[in-house]
Structure 1
Amino acid sequence: MGLLDNLKARLGPAKDKVSDLAQQHEDKIDRGLDKVARTVDERTKGKYSDRIQTGTGKAKDAMGRLAHKDDGTQGGGAAPGTTPGGPPPAGPPPAS
């Protein structure tokens, strides 16, 4: 067994535990992220509002994926023609 395989085997139970905790406390985590984002935005006097909003959205998406990894919603959440966590692709939409 290689070093990476050994590491993955040891981290597997921890990842499952984190996923369970994220699922149990998803609403609290979302509220905490919003509160931190508001505080940082206030302290920077709105100078980085767009970046704070983007980062908060990405953090919430990551927590959502982690919390719902076992219920079949992982990987299929993005709308067709969009890139998860980023701007829509450039150019005209694909022809049907």
Structure 2
Amino acid sequence: MSALDKIKKMLKGHEDQAGKGIDKAGDMVDDRTQGKYSKHVDTGQDKLKQQLGSDRDRNDPPRA
């Protein structure tokens, strides 16, 4: 089992809180870099949310 699989298992049922944490971390990075890398940070946030499943509604079926 990979580390990402373990993280997904731990966050199951708490996707909305994980999404908020990802947003908060990205905002902190943007603040510390004065927005210099905001486009890259936003892309990273989106990809991480997709991986953890925090970007979809609870009523959507899980992705394979």
Q: Same fold (TM over 0.5)?
A: yes
Per the alignment, residue 39 of structure 1 pairs with 28
State the structure with bigger RCO (CA 8 A, min sep 6), 1 or 2: 2
Quick one: which amino acid aligns to residue 36 of structure 2?
K
| More helix by percentage | 2
Match of residue 21 from structure 1: 10
Q: CA deviation at 1:28?
A: 1.1
CA distance in 2, matches of 1:25, 1:31: 10
Tell me the amino acid that sits aligned with residue 33 of structure 2: T
Where does residue 57 of structure 2 map in the other structure? none
Q: What RMSD in Å do the two structures reach over aligned CA positions?
A: 2.5
**Distance in 1 between residues matched to 2:8 and 2:44, nearest whole Å:** 20
Q: Pick from 29, 44, 48: which aligns with 1:55?
A: 44
Identity over aligned pairs, percent: 37
CA shift, 1:22, in A, is 1.8
Q: Could you say what secondary structure the match of 1:24 adopts?
A: coil
* Unpaired segments ≥5 residues, structure 1: 1-10, 66-70, 76-96
Tell me which residue corresponds to 1:93: none
Residue 53 of structure 2 corresponds to residue 64 of structure 1: yes
Structure 2 unaligned segments of length 5 or more: list them.
55-59
In structure 2, what residue type is equivalent to 1:25?
Answer: H
